Amino acid sequence: MNPRIHYTKPSITELEVAYATDAAANGWGDRCYEYITRFEEAFKAHLGVKYAIATSSCTGALHMGLAALGIGPGDEVIMADTNWIATAAPIVHLGAKPVFVDILPDSWCLDPEWVDQAITPRTKAIIAVHIYGNLCDMNRLLAIGEKHGIPVIEDAAEAIGSVYHGKRAGSMGRFGAFSFHGTKTITTGEGGMFVTNDADLYEHVLTLSNHGRARGQTKQFWPDRVGFKYKMSNIQAAIGCAQIERIEEIVSRKREILRYYRERLEILPGVSMNPEPVNTVNGAWMPTVVFDKKTAVTRENLQTAFADENIDARVFFYPLSSLPMFEDQPQNWLAWDIPRRAINLPSYHEMKESDQQRVVEIILNLS
């Protein structure tokens, strides 16, 4: 049998190992936050934002940011039906209601027209998720948010390396949230980052992130409010420091992989992949192929074909409204239909061209 091709894995070099080793050996006592601070500084410089807080997950960053905006019971937060549950979970934890709307046919991101129609007096935020590295239409979403006085939040968990009209994904909304899970473009194993240009929001989230202890509090072990424990560890941050030093190389390689797939698959009738509109850069986290209905290619025969060749393939996200904890929203017909005829393709830094060719041959045989 052919060797297994995994759908994703991180790029770890001697630099990551050296930094993590130093943090494990020496990053204690007075140095216990050294790599965390260094990672935050490097990340905000890369992104071009004023403030950054390293967190234990992107979910934690979203949870604290939404809490700091005062979102709670009775409130509504609009988001795309096509998403992983991690974006919806903090909304539910805060007692608010996620309102799922349909997606655009090309980017598979939040459709601004449906967002505008879904706004009610209870709407307190819009979450723009840059799915698979594809970019939301931020100009339209920000204009809608401004018109209604509603903050737009960016979930950029999958969009490190993506750029919209000269601005990096995650830097445009009231706040942004990133993921450094082991499957993401850059990793700290688990981990995330909260970013913002809003000084007051930053201070609020910073207090929440430290069990509610404000930065200026002089009393030891004196919380000013009930907060959270979503801190990143110094060892994780050490790995992050190495990854952010290598970010251009890593993203460039991811984009090479996506380009290889595009050149060989988008020429096929009825096949589309991650878009890259004018004035944007797709960070290429997860190359995804969507088949037109006329091809009769389905998620199930794609999964079978890949499994037969010992290749991992991730299914396109199911619509959140189809999950048992939410109410079905079949009127979001693209969010419900596209996953039935789409698949995520393997993509990682050390992937060989021969591996990609094996993947391509499966698609060619099905088309």
Could you read off the pLDDT of 142-171 as tens digits, one per residue? 999 999 999 999 999 999 999 999 999 999
Query: Which residues contact residue 23 at a Cβ distance below 8 angstroms, ignoring those fewer than 6 apart?
Result: 34, 35, 234, 235, 237, 238
> Which tens digit of pLDDT belongs to each residue from 246-298?
999 999 999 999 999 999 999 999 999 999 999 999 999 999 999 999 999 99
Domains of the chain, earliest start first: 14-245 (3.40.640.10), 247-366 (3.90.1150.10)
Beta strands in the chain (DSSP E): 51-55, 76-80, 97-101, 123-129, 152-155, 163-164, 167-168, 176-179, 192-196, 271-273, 280-281, 288-291, 314-315, 342-344
> Which tens digit of pLDDT belongs to each residue from 84-124?
999 999 999 999 999 999 999 999 999 999 999 999 999 99
- % of the chain exceeding 70 in pLDDT: 100
* pLDDT(243) > 90: yes
Q: By C-alpha distance, which of 53, 71, 77, 73 is closest to 129?
A: 77
Reported residue count of the chain is 367
* pLDDT(1) > 80: no
pLDDT at 269: 94
> Which tens digit of pLDDT belongs to each residue from 297-322?
999 999 999 999 999 989 999 999 99
> Which tens digit of pLDDT belongs to each residue from 181-227?
999 999 999 999 999 999 999 999 999 999 999 998 899 999 999 99
* pLDDT(367) > 90: no
Integer Cα distance of 263 and 135 in angstroms: 21
* pLDDT(366) > 90: no
pLDDT at 313: 84
